Structure 1
Amino acid sequence: MHDQWATSAGDDLHLDLRGPRLREGLMEALRDAIRTGRLAPGAKLPSSRTLGADLGIARNTVAQAYAGLVAEGWLTARQGAATRVAAHAATATAPAKATPRPTTRHRHVHDLRSGLPDTSTFPRVEWAKATRRALAAAPDDAFGFPSPRGRAELRTELASYLARTRGVRTHPDHIIICSGVTHGLLLLAEVMKHRGTPEIAVESYGLYAHRRRLTAAGIHTPPVPIDADGARTDRLDELPGAGAVLLTPSHQFPTGVALHPDRRMAALDWARRTGGLVLEDDYDGEFRYERGPVGALQGLDPDQVVYLGTSSKALSPGLRLGWLVLPPRLAPAVAKAKGDHDLHCSTVDQLAMAEFLSSGGYDRHIRTMRQYYRRRRDQLVAALAEHCPEAAVTGLSAGLHALVELPSGNESAVVQGSAWQDLAVHGLDRFRHPDVEAERDALVIGYGTPSASAWSGTLAALCRVLP
C-alpha cells in the first residue's frame, strides 16, 4: 500500500509499508529489511525526523516503531547516539514469509538459555584500567612461558578472596588456574584415570556439557538422584565404583535447591570413608538474594573437596579463567597433567584479574551485578504472575536462572513453540541424565542472558508461549 524509499546512512532503502496501521507496517518493513540483509548488523538508521520526512509519516510514528523494535531486540539505542541494527539481529537469510524451521545454528531474537550472563555488562572501563596497571607492574618473566599452575599473583588474590567471600580454606600453592570448570574437570579426570578410578558420579540433573566431556574422556558418570533437598548423597555407597562425585551444593543446577546440611555431611562422610573426592562446582556462588550466602562445602574439609570456580558468570565466559582449589596431595599431579597438555590461560588476563581483585573492582562489580540480576528476577516473577498466574516459579533465591514448572506433557511442545517464536529456551529434560526417567516438565529460564535492550521483548515472548 505504501511502497516508499527512505534514506538510511546515506543509502537508499526500500521499505514496503503494508496495512492501514503505519507503526506496525513500518516495524514489519524494518524487520524484513534486517532479515533479508538489506540492513546489516550495526547499520545506522536515520533519525525519526529524517525517516518520517522521507516516508511522509509522523515523526512520533517512527519513534514508536523504533522503540518497539528496540524492546524486541532488533535494534539498539543509547541516549545521544544513533539507533542501529542490533549485532545479533540478522537471524535469517530468507524473507520473513518463508519461515525456516529453527536449527541449532540459528541465532534467536530472544534468548533465555541458561548458563550465560548479560555480556553487555562486562566492565570494560574498569577492566582496561586494571589491565594497564597490571602490565605496568608486571615483572619481565610474566611475558615468558607461563607456569601450568598459573600466575602467583592471581593465585594469591584468589586464596584471599575465596576465603573472605566463600569460606574456602587453602594456600595459593594448592590453586591451579585453568580455562574454566570443564577444563578443570578434564584435568581431574586424567589424574583419576591414571590412579585407576575412572568413575565420577554426577547429579541426575546437571550440565550436560560436563557429562558429555567426561564421557568422551573415558570417564563413567553414574547418576545420583535429586530431590527437594538436593543430591541424595546418602546413597553414594550404592555406587561402589565412583572415586568422586560432582555436586553443585550451593545452588543445584538446574533445579535451584541448596544441598541440605545433612546431605552435605553425608557427602563428606562418604569421601572420608572411601578415600573419594567431592568435586564442588560453585558456578554462581556470588549471586545470592533473599537468603544469606551458603558457604563452600570445601571449607568443611579441604582434604576431601576440590573446589571449582570460574569468572564466566560474574564477568564473561570469553575470558576463559577458572580455578581449581585442590587438596594438597592432589595439586602436584593436577599441575603436571595441565603442563603435559597445554600452557594456556593468558598471562595478561591473569594479571588483570589479580589486579581487579586486589583493587576492589571485582567486589564492586559483583555488588552491582547482584542488584541488576535481582531486578531481572523480580521482573520475571512479576510478568509471569500477571500473564501466566498458574506458572509455579522455583529456584529464585540465587543464581541467574529459574525453573518454571509446566503441566505434565507440555515441555516438548512449549520448547518447540518457543523456537518458532524466535525464543531460545531450554527445557528441564535437556539436563536429565540419560539413565534417569523424566520426573517433571519445566523450563529452565536463564534470565541473565538477554541484553538490557532485549529484556522486555524477551519477557513478552516468554509469556506468549507459556500455556
Structure 2
Amino acid sequence: MPESQTNLSWDVLLDLSGPAGARHERLAGALRSAVRDGVLPVGTALPPSRKLATDLGCSRWLVTQAYGQLVAEGYLEARTGAATRVSWSPGRDERRPPAARVAAPVPRYDLAPGVPDLRAFPRRRWADALRDVLTTMPHTEFGVPPLGGHPRLRAVVAEYLRRCRGASAAPRDVTICAGVTEGVTRVCRALAARGVTAVAVEDPSWGRTRQAVAAAGLTVVPVPVDEDGVRVDLLGGTRAVVVTPAHQFPTGTVLAPARRAALVAWARDVDGLVLEDDYDAEFRYDRRPVGTVQGMAPAHVALFGSVSKTLSPALGIGWHVLPPAWTESYQAANPAAATPSVVDQLALAAFIDQGGYDRHLRAVRLRYRSRRDALVAALATHLPDSRTTGVAAGLHLLLHLGGAVDTGALVRRAAAEGLRLVDLAAYRSTPPEEPALVLGYGNLADNAVLPAVALLASLL
C-alpha cells in the first residue's frame, strides 16, 4: 500500500479556481476527478485535514467536509487514528479517455480528394429554405422522426433520381440516412443476416467503404479495376459487390457498357446484390453523365447517394434505394436506424423542389470544370514527365509520377510544407504498379492551383 504522498503539490493537483460553487464542493470534485483519473491510486494516503488546509490556503472545515463527502460516496476510507486513504480504483473501461489531440493545422494547399468547394455552399438559399420550413411546418413534425426518413424528402429524392440519374425509384424504396458509408453498413448487415459472408470491393476503392463492409462482419474481397472498370469476371463466388460505375474512385474510369451488362448478368445469375455508390455522378464535364446501373436492374441493385459531394458533408444527409425484396431483411437488421434532423430533411426537400439544388449544381459544375482544366494545364507545365488519367468528371484526378518516386516520403515532405497530398497506395490492398497521387481539386481555391502545383514540382 503506498505511503502518504507528502511530496505531492496539492495546491496544483487540486485546483479550486473552477466554476462558481461552494469551495468544499469544488475540492470534493477535484479529489473525485483525481481518483477517477487514476492520479490518486487506491491506497494512497491523503494529507491530514489541517495540513491540506494550510497547503490550499483554506479552512480545515472545508477539507473535512470534502473528505466526508467522498467517504460517503465510497471513494475514500477514514479510520480513527489512521490516514484517510483512497479506497476506490477505476476499472480499465471506466478510466477517462486521454485528452483529444490538437487538430492538425489547416494546410496552405489541400489536394486531398473527396471534399467539394466548401466556399461555394449556398448559405443564403439554404437559410431561406430552413426559415420557410421552420415557419410553415406543423407542430406535429417536431415529434419523433419517421423511420426511414420523412415522406416528403423520400418522394423528392425518388423524383430527382428518376429525372437526373435514370434510376427506378419509388418513395417507399428510398431510405434517408446520414450518408453513403452508413447506408452501406446497414445494407451489409442485411446481407450478413441473409447468410452472405463476403462482399467484393473494387481495388482500389474508398477506404471507408471497406471499413463499412468489415464493420458488418463480412469479409472484404478485393477485385481489380482496369481501364473499363471493375473486373466482373473475377467476382468469383461472391454474391455482393460494391462498385462506383459512373466515376470509379479513385481511378476515375467509367464502367464500360459491356462491363455494365456483365455486372447485371452476374447479379441475376447468382441472385446477388450490387451496391452502387453514385457519389459524384453529377459532375461530368465532357458529356452528360451515364445513368445508374440500378435503372437497368432495380431488383438486384441498391443505389446510394448523398449531398456530401454536391453541397457539404456537414449536412449529414444521404439516401439509398433498395430492391423491394430486401426491405424486410434490411428492417430486421436495422431495427433502430436513426435518421437526420427532420428540419434539415424538409429544408433539403424544399431546396430541391424549388430548383435551388439544380441551380447550385450548374454553378459549381462550371467552376469545377474550369479548375480541373487549370490543374491539368499546370501539371503539364511544371511536371511534363508525369501524366494524368481519369475522365473529365468528379472532383479528383490521378497523377502518375513514373520513375522510382517514394510517394510515402513525398506525402510527408509535402505535409511539412503545407501541401496536403494523398498516395494512391492508401486506397489499394496491393501496391500500385507505378507511383501515383490522387489529386483532389474540389476544395482548392482557384488562385491556389498554380502555387500548389509549383510547390509539388519543387518537392519532386
Sort the TM-score into its range (normalised by shorter chain).
0.7 to 0.9
Match of 2:304, SS? strand
Output one character per residue of 1:71-130: Cα deviation in whole Å (capped at 9) or x when no partner: xxxxxxxxxxxxxxxxxxxxxxxxxxxxxxxx9944322211111112111100000111
Structure 1 counterpart of 2:14: none
- Cα shift at 1:397: 1.2
Instruction: Please say if 1:409 is aligned against 2:404.
Output: yes
Q: C-alpha separation between the residues in 1 aligned to 2:372 and 2:199?
A: 33
Structure 1 counterpart of 2:253: 257
Structure 1 counterpart of 2:423: 427
Q: C-alpha separation between the residues in 2 aligned to 1:333 and 1:145?
A: 23
- Cα shift at 1:158: 0.7
Structure 1 counterpart of 2:308: 312
Structure 1 counterpart of 2:278: 282
Match of 1:246, SS? strand
1:38-117 correspondence runs (5 A): 105-117=104-116
- Cα shift at 1:285: 0.9
Match of 1:225, SS? strand
Structure 1 counterpart of 2:73: none
Aligned with 2:378 (options 360, 383, 387): 383
Residues 207, 104 of structure 1: CA spacing in aligned structure 2 closer, same or farther, 3 A cutoff?
farther
The question of whether the paired residues in 2 share the 8 Å contact of 1:175 and 1:331 is answered with no
Matched positions, count: 358
One-letter identity of the residue aligned with 1:188: V
One-letter identity of the residue aligned with 1:370: R
Q: C-alpha separation between the residues in 2 aligned to 1:391 and 1:195?
A: 47
Output one character per residue of 1:374-394: Cα deviation in whole Å (capped at 9) or x when no partner: 111011011112211222111
* Gap regions ≥5 residues in structure 2: 1-101
- Cα shift at 1:441: 1.4
Q: C-alpha separation between the residues in 2 aligned to 1:153 and 1:458?
A: 44
Q: C-alpha separation between the residues in 2 aligned to 1:302 and 1:233?
A: 18
Output one character per residue of 1:350-400: Cα deviation in whole Å (capped at 9) or x when no partner: 000000010000000000000011111011011112211222111141100
- Cα shift at 1:454: 4.6
1:106-185 correspondence runs (5 A): 106-185=105-184
Aligned with 1:272 (options 263, 268, 272): 268
Output one character per residue of 1:214-270: Cα deviation in whole Å (capped at 9) or x when no partner: 22331101011111111101222x2x1x22100000101000000111111111111
- Cα shift at 1:141: 2.7
- The normalised TM-score by structure 1 is 0.74
Residues 337, 145 of structure 1: CA spacing in aligned structure 2 closer, same or farther, 3 A cutoff?
farther
One-letter identity of the residue aligned with 2:305: G
Q: C-alpha separation between the residues in 1 aligned to 2:108 and 2:170?
A: 45
Match of 1:187, SS? helix
* Gap regions ≥5 residues in structure 1: 1-102
Instruction: Please say if 1:365 is aligned against 2:360.
Output: yes
One-letter identity of the residue aligned with 1:315: L
- The normalised TM-score by structure 2 is 0.75
Structure 2 counterpart of 1:294: 290
The question of whether the paired residues in 1 share the 8 Å contact of 2:203 and 2:222 is answered with yes
Q: C-alpha separation between the residues in 1 aligned to 2:400 and 2:307?
A: 29
- Cα shift at 1:172: 0.2
Output one character per residue of 1:329-365: Cα deviation in whole Å (capped at 9) or x when no partner: 1134324544x23423111110000000100000000
The question of whether the paired residues in 2 share the 8 Å contact of 1:383 and 1:463 is answered with no
The question of whether the paired residues in 1 share the 8 Å contact of 2:185 and 2:215 is answered with no
- Cα shift at 1:317: 0.3
Structure 2 counterpart of 1:34: none
The question of whether the paired residues in 1 share the 8 Å contact of 2:385 and 2:401 is answered with no
Residues 460, 348 of structure 1: CA spacing in aligned structure 2 closer, same or farther, 3 A cutoff?
farther
Q: Once structures 1 and 2 are overlaid, which stretch shifts more, 413-422 or 314-323?
A: 413-422
The question of whether the paired residues in 1 share the 8 Å contact of 2:176 and 2:339 is answered with no
Structure 2 counterpart of 1:70: none
Aligned-pair identity in percent equals: 44
Instruction: Please say if 1:449 is aligned against 2:437.
Output: no
Instruction: Please say if 1:438 is aligned against 2:432.
Output: yes
The question of whether the paired residues in 1 share the 8 Å contact of 2:422 and 2:437 is answered with yes
The question of whether the paired residues in 2 share the 8 Å contact of 1:169 and 1:298 is answered with yes
- Cα shift at 1:460: 3.4
The two structures, once aligned, show a CA RMSD in angstroms of 1.8
- Cα shift at 1:412: 2.6
Output one character per residue of 1:150-172: Cα deviation in whole Å (capped at 9) or x when no partner: 01111111111111111001100
Structure 2 counterpart of 1:458: 452
- Cα shift at 1:136: 2.9
Instruction: Please say if 1:353 is aligned against 2:352.
Output: no
Match of 1:202, SS? strand
Match of 2:434, SS? coil
Q: Once structures 1 and 2 are overlaid, which stretch shifts more, 346-355 or 206-215?
A: 206-215
Q: C-alpha separation between the residues in 1 aligned to 2:188 and 2:366?
A: 37
Larger Rg: 2
Match of 1:300, SS? coil
One-letter identity of the residue aligned with 2:310: A
- Cα shift at 1:421: 1.8
